[in-house]
Structure 1
Amino acid sequence: MAERTRELARANERLQAQVRESERAVHLQATLYRIAALGHGEGSNEAFYRSIHEAVGELLNAESFCIALVSDDGQWLDFPYYVDSSGAELLRRPMGRGMSEYAIRCAQTIRLEAEKISALIEQGEVDADTYGNPAVSWLGAPLMGARGVMGIVVVQSYRSDLHYTQQDAELLTFVSYQIANTLQRRQQAEALRILNAELEQRVLERTQELRRQIVVRERAQKQLKHQVMHDSLTGLPNRLYLRERLERALGALKREPTRRFALLYLDVDRFKLFNDGLGHGVGDEVLRIVSARMADCVRPPDIVGRLSGDEFAVLLENCPQPSSACLVAERIQARMAQAIEIGGRQLHVSVSIGIAMSRPLYQTVDQLLHDADTALYRAKAAGRHRFVLFDESLHVSSVNVLDLEQQMRDALEKSEFEAYFQPIVRLADGGVTGYEALIRWRHPQLGVLGPGQFLPAAEATGLIEMIDWHMYRLAFQAAPALLGRDKILNINISTGHFHSRDFPQRLLNLTAQAGVALDQLCIEVTESSLLSDPDAAAEILGRLHEAGVRIALDDFGTGYSSLSHVHRFPLRTLKIDRSFIAPLGQAAQQRSMAIVSAVLSLARSLDLNVVAEGVENTAQRDALLSMGCTHGQGFLFGRPAPLGTGASLRAGEP
């Protein structure tokens, strides 16, 4: 009886610890949202920094707290906000040998006690006069900006009974990224406000001048022409206007072949979900906001036009190099990254872009539009939210969608789709812990095709779910020979399955028929798929989780609501997107290391597994190991291969 009582007591302690950890995670989530919300406020800087101080103070002791920012030229350190219990006064100073400068040079979170601080002073790393009043415990986390360290957030203690812990350091590290993002949003908003004010002033001055020069009849004629040549919903130039400008640009190109221009063809990703799911009123408002944001990204004589529906075009009249067009495309996609709030609901919008550069062989506007549209199709086929520059190879690889649909139907009947498997391994020793099932099409004429070459068309034609179920059956048939008793099988779930309420039961029935243990199955979902219908996704994932199926969030960090997904859905694993892994081991790895470290800290605090995707060399693997990442996936360990070939090899073999 006594032993049973002790077991119950220990179980109760573990349960209470889990509850405290869950409450801590929820508190951290709420604090990060508060800090993020500050970036959209219009209050004074003093109120803004005071609110950050209050938010940080809810997570750890912040009796002495300051935010320091590096000047644009990197020569000065400013202290826009500080509270110091010792009464010290922090003034703007040249970048020197203070504690803040030391942490900025290190570009990582620094936690120091008095003895270590004294040692740094003796070593000359920190100047005692610049440092000021000695602290008992000092904790600082760098604020990482787009071009490196932009400043630092510091808490320190002068009390012998207050020492900061490693957990405090992890909390401040994670919060520092949100503070840095919020600061940058405020800075960008202020720059945009000033720019808009200047633009409004110029427009006002120009309007006043025109009113003195233009007669009533000329104004009426101009208004009529505007109505004919512009879109009534967005106010942008319409297809007719754009074709006219393109005709003029082609004519100028014939007269002056060295003067080049570029056409950007844009399409709003997943617009049908907004229009059909939320109503045409919301869809129209999304188009108005998108058009305004695109217009902000160009300057005369360049124009943005709406062609039809959710299709837009940007004409860059003087664009000598493809790199210039690519910079405009990047600027547009970055501008779209900010959430749109309509009717109390936050929507996340992205665009796919095809780019065609002017060439002497273009004789008609339709030829130019066709090539830009071909590049746009390739951008959407590659996964959306990206841009593709047209080249001659796209002519060879472009396939009519209707023909491709019939070919895919034939491929299903002839079992041309195959399951490939890529190992997921322990980074420490390369031991295989599971496999991700990936689809390939063994095309009778074109050879083996990757998913990017046909899945977008499958989604557009409604065949994606049929192909998915075919893929699941193939993967489950291979599972017994592939997995053994201790490995995990990962399968990918398309967005359309979240609109089918019987999907969980159908998947569970299929696993039972194939003899696949539910605790050896992991489904991977992307952040964009969860955005289509979050409530339905939460219900379906919840039912699968209750049945014992593992759930992984794929491409973590590339979406817009990563933290809310971690909190809302029953996840077991985060898969860090390959875009954050690629820079590791290179000179410009600092920002990626900071982001990966933050994800690992978040995962540890929420007891989640982490898999790094796209590990292609030993330098990346070693960097991940040094940060505490335990699992990885990529060409370093094995390429996707059918059962019995590369998938059966020991990880790391060629």
Structure 2
Amino acid sequence: MSQERRTDPTKRVGTEAIERRRASAHGLGPAAEHERSQKALERRVAERTRELARANERLQAQVRESERAVHLQATLYRIAALGHGEGSNEAFYRSIHEAVGELLNAESFCIALVSDDGQWLDFPYYVDSSGAELLRRPMGRGMSEYAIRCAQTIRLEAEKISALIKQGEVDADTYGNPAVSWLGAPLMGARGVMGIVVVQSYRSDLHYTQQDAELLTFVSYQIANTLQRRQQAEALRILNAELEQRVLERTQELRRQIVVRERAQKQLKHQVMHDSLTGLPNRLYLRERLERALGALKREPTRRFALLYLDVDRFKLFNDGLGHGVGDEVLRIVSARMADCVRPPDIVGRLSGDEFAVLLENCPQPSSACLVAERIQARMAQAIEIGGRQLHVSVSIGIAMSRPLYQTVDQLLHDADTALYRAKAAGRHRFVLFDESLHVSSVNVLDLEQQMRDALEKSEFEAYFQPIVRLADGGVTGYEALIRWRHPQLGVLGPGQFLPAAEATGLIEMIDWHMYRLAFQAASALLGRDKILNINISMGHFHSRDFPQRLLNLTAQAGVALDQLCIEVTESSLLSDPDAAAEILGRLHEAGVRIALDDFGTGYSSLSHVHRFPLRTLKIDRSFIAPLGQAAQQRSMAIVSAVLSLARSLDLNVVAEGVENTAQRDALLSMGCTHGQGFLFGRPAPLGTGASLRAGEP
């Protein structure tokens, strides 16, 4: 109640009487007294009205505060309830945004979380009235990072933000679009600041107040707690899921073991029957299929199949020269290409090393097998690229058609293998179809192989020497060492009678080394100080990287001067592996050994060899010399003349092979050829038959 209501009425009357007496004392009349009383009353009414207005404002403020508190409490409960929901994170953050928006202006609102390693600031929810988007950025000097570093609620206006930028606390580029008013509250977790909730305004008529800051602070606590509960709930969900998975795994363990056991048995069977490197059927699997095919052939004699036996040419060079890893990759690629060339039920199998086999189940004609062989060789013609290096791989193929006389798989494999060796002996990259003549030949080769092994042990191979002379005067300038076999039953055999078999059986290198030792032993008595000793190199030596050093060691032991040694190579041997040949010949050339290209003009690309290899001499093949001095000599003279011209331009020596009469010699002299070799000057003879070694002897 007001003060007037609490005053005693009798006292009020007394006061008015006193006032009237005072007025009378001053000579005031009743009218003046009434006016004065009226004003006093108005003052009292106005004062009371103001008191009532203030009381009403206080009451309304209390009501608003109560409503605000109720609203805040409801919002906090609402946010807390979100922690127990199962909605998506996007829905969760959107609900928080809506809740905060009911308390203060949140047109531009975001929640940022510090990554576990503290290096990144993730924005799982980002809404900006300017249209900007942000998902993640490294922890830097943004406004959010500043508030996180301060670990307290920050309310800033544009001027203060500019000041922070000038102080280096905030980076303008990281901060982004400048806000008129910015408000951020840290999200405090169990281990410190876990993130921040931010609202900002770009409007000049909207500024956040201290009361807004307090509100956002309260809300941030609840958001942080809710986030942690959701994270804990998610961790618990994951844990429960893992537990359920473990229970499921344990429940299924017996079934899994059964499945694994069955799979292991199948895998073991597959491994037993397949090659681990290429995945192809192995020899065991192939034999099983061949046995079935032979059984079907016995039941149906008209049914025919074919077996292709394949060998990768020069594989040892790839494997030894470039490493086993490259060799394995070559085998994998080759096997895949072979498999591409056949269709089920035909199969490709790996027998061992670089040997493969193809079984053509239904192959009525040999021509069908030959077509498959051609298809395989054409597929192999494409270069293989391994480790930036292009490799040119070819295969030799032996083909055996099914025949009623085959009783065992070994017989079939043997005949296919025989055809394969004939293909390799013919120069590789070929296929040969087995027939009865090959059977007879293979028996002869096997017999001859044993005889040659015996000949090596008994020193039946001998070195013969044929002189190389100056055509002008017949003076001897050197000798070519040639091999002969003094066979105990057949007499002296020339190289053409046994060297092809030596190459087919792999004995050629052993025979070569035996020949080199014989030739070097005779060198001191044969050469003197100025003559040259020529020896022949088989293509197999180009597959051995230690060949140059081994040859140099042998010359040193025998006392042969390197500048008196010339090695002769044929074009076909160079073609077997040009890269390896160039390397080996280069090493010998650097040591001082001379290099001669034998049978020049009979190869596929003679001129290219002249430039690629370190040659010193060209030996013109006897096929170009034989027509000289005859009526039809024009073409041969043109070829020989061209060779001589080429040799002069490249500073190469030339030796004409197979000079047998004076007409040929004179024709060569007329064209400017200076050196020759042939029966006109001396037949090949062993050391000790001096007459045969002198130039000019028939």
The whole-number CA distance in structure 1 between the counterparts of 2:646 and 2:96 is 20
The answer for unaligned runs of 5 or more in structure 2 is 1-44
CA contact (8 A) 1:482 1:648 kept: no
CA apart distance, 1:362: 0.8
**1:516 paired residue number:** 560
Question: Deviation string for 1:164-207 (max 9, x for gaps)?
Answer: 99999999999999999999999999999999999999999999
CA contact (8 A) 2:185 2:220 kept: yes
The whole-number CA distance in structure 1 between the counterparts of 2:658 and 2:551 is 28
CA apart distance, 1:584: 15
The whole-number CA distance in structure 2 between the counterparts of 1:467 and 1:7 is 134
Q: Is 1:278 matched up with 2:333?
A: no
The whole-number CA distance in structure 1 between the counterparts of 2:529 and 2:693 is 17
CA apart distance, 1:351: 2.5
CA apart distance, 1:342: 0.9
CA apart distance, 1:66: 71
CA apart distance, 1:349: 2.5
Secondary structure of 2:182's aligned partner: strand
- Residue 305 to residue 39, structure 1, CA distance change in 2 (3 Å): farther
CA apart distance, 1:373: 1.8
The answer for unaligned runs of 5 or more in structure 1 is none
**Which has the larger displacement, 256-265 or 601-610?**
601-610
The whole-number CA distance in structure 1 between the counterparts of 2:543 and 2:138 is 59
The whole-number CA distance in structure 2 between the counterparts of 1:450 and 1:30 is 114
**Which has the larger displacement, 575-584 or 17-26?**
17-26
The whole-number CA distance in structure 2 between the counterparts of 1:579 and 1:29 is 113
**Which has the larger displacement, 345-354 or 581-590?**
581-590
Q: State the number of aligned residues.
A: 654
The whole-number CA distance in structure 1 between the counterparts of 2:428 and 2:482 is 19
The whole-number CA distance in structure 2 between the counterparts of 1:479 and 1:18 is 128
CA contact (8 A) 2:110 2:126 kept: yes
The whole-number CA distance in structure 1 between the counterparts of 2:53 and 2:626 is 47
Secondary structure of 1:399's aligned partner: helix
CA apart distance, 1:581: 12
The whole-number CA distance in structure 1 between the counterparts of 2:56 and 2:609 is 29
The whole-number CA distance in structure 2 between the counterparts of 1:610 and 1:370 is 46
**Which has the larger displacement, 77-86 or 309-318?**
77-86
Q: Is 1:544 matched up with 2:592?
A: no
**Which has the larger displacement, 213-222 or 245-254?**
213-222
CA contact (8 A) 1:173 1:598 kept: no
Secondary structure of 1:400's aligned partner: helix
**Which has the larger displacement, 27-36 or 432-441?**
27-36
CA contact (8 A) 2:464 2:481 kept: yes
So what's the TM-score if we normalise by structure 1?
Answer: 0.47
Question: Deviation string for 1:567-592 (max 9, x for gaps)?
Answer: 55422245689999999999999999
The whole-number CA distance in structure 2 between the counterparts of 1:119 and 1:110 is 14
CA apart distance, 1:369: 0.9
CA apart distance, 1:393: 5.0
CA apart distance, 1:412: 3.5
CA apart distance, 1:263: 2.0
**1:145 paired residue number:** 189
CA contact (8 A) 2:585 2:595 kept: yes
CA contact (8 A) 2:484 2:493 kept: yes
Question: Greater Rg, structure 1 or structure 2?
Answer: 2
**Which has the larger displacement, 74-83 or 161-170?**
161-170
- Residue 282 to residue 624, structure 1, CA distance change in 2 (3 Å): farther
The whole-number CA distance in structure 2 between the counterparts of 1:180 and 1:498 is 78
**Which has the larger displacement, 237-246 or 142-151?**
142-151
**1:530 paired residue number:** 574
CA apart distance, 1:391: 3.9
CA apart distance, 1:534: 8.7
Question: Deviation string for 1:41-86 (max 9, x for gaps)?
Answer: 9999999999999999999999999999999999999999999999
The whole-number CA distance in structure 1 between the counterparts of 2:674 and 2:73 is 24
- Residue 234 to residue 88, structure 1, CA distance change in 2 (3 Å): same
The whole-number CA distance in structure 1 between the counterparts of 2:412 and 2:211 is 57
- Residue 57 to residue 511, structure 1, CA distance change in 2 (3 Å): farther
CA apart distance, 1:302: 4.9
Percent same amino acid among aligned pairs?
A: 99
Question: Deviation string for 1:356-407 (max 9, x for gaps)?
Answer: 2322211222211122123334444566444444344555554799998886
The whole-number CA distance in structure 2 between the counterparts of 1:236 and 1:413 is 42
Which structure has more relative contact order (CA 8 Å, sep 6+)? It is: 1
Question: Deviation string for 1:615-644 (max 9, x for gaps)?
Answer: 999999999999999999999999977679
- Residue 121 to residue 204, structure 1, CA distance change in 2 (3 Å): same
The whole-number CA distance in structure 1 between the counterparts of 2:441 and 2:529 is 43
The whole-number CA distance in structure 2 between the counterparts of 1:630 and 1:21 is 125
Question: Deviation string for 1:461-491 (max 9, x for gaps)?
Answer: 9976664343124334666898899975431
The whole-number CA distance in structure 2 between the counterparts of 1:122 and 1:342 is 60
**Which has the larger displacement, 625-634 or 255-264?**
625-634
CA contact (8 A) 1:641 1:647 kept: no
CA contact (8 A) 2:396 2:431 kept: yes
CA apart distance, 1:542: 4.7
Secondary structure of 1:398's aligned partner: helix
Question: Deviation string for 1:214-242 (max 9, x for gaps)?
Answer: 99999999999988865454354443554
**2:521 paired residue number:** 477
Secondary structure of 2:195's aligned partner: strand
CA contact (8 A) 1:104 1:142 kept: yes
CA apart distance, 1:304: 3.2
CA contact (8 A) 2:599 2:621 kept: yes
